[in-house]
């Protein structure tokens, strides 16, 4: 394994662990319902796993910005990773 792959895996874990903690703690303090399916936190985890740290984080931030009272919501899956040519 190249060292860059190891660094990427560590960074993925560093981003995913706080999201998992949020998923555990959130229901005890907030009773809102996410407008999207999958939820924004699950979307963030999947985006980071599929697209890597930087693009996954970018996708997650813009998904969270769309999650507001003026947005209709609905089914919004993580886009598939484009294959390199």
pLDDT tens digit sequence for 12-38 = 999 999 999 998 998 888 777 788 999
0.95 exceeded by pTM:
no
- List strand residue ranges (DSSP E) for the chain, in order: 36-37, 74-75
Q: Judge whether 81 lies within some domain.
A: no
Q: Is residue 85 part of a domain?
A: no
Is a pLDDT exceeding 70 seen at residue 1? no
Tell me if 84 is assigned to some domain.
Answer: no
Q: Find all residues with CB under 8 Å of 50, minimum gap 6, and list them.
A: 56, 78, 80, 81
The pLDDT score that the predictor gives to residue 46 is: 97
Give the domain range for residue 7: 3-75
Domains contained in the chain, number: 1
In a domain, 83, yes or no: no
Residue in 74, 78, 33, 73 with CA at minimum distance from that of residue 60: 78
**Mean pLDDT of the chain, nearest integer:** 89
């Amino acid at each position: 394994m190249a060292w860059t792959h190891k660094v990427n895996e560590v960074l993925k874990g560093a981003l995913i662990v706080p999201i998992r903690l949020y998923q555990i703690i959130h229901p005890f303090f907030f009773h809102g319902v996410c407008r999207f399916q999958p939820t924004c936190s699950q979307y963030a985890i999947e985006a980071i796993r599929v697209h890597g740290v930087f693009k996954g984080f970018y996708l997650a931030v813009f998904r969270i910005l769309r999650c507001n009272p003026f947005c209709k919501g609905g089914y919004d899956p993580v886009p598939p990773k484009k294959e390199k040519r």
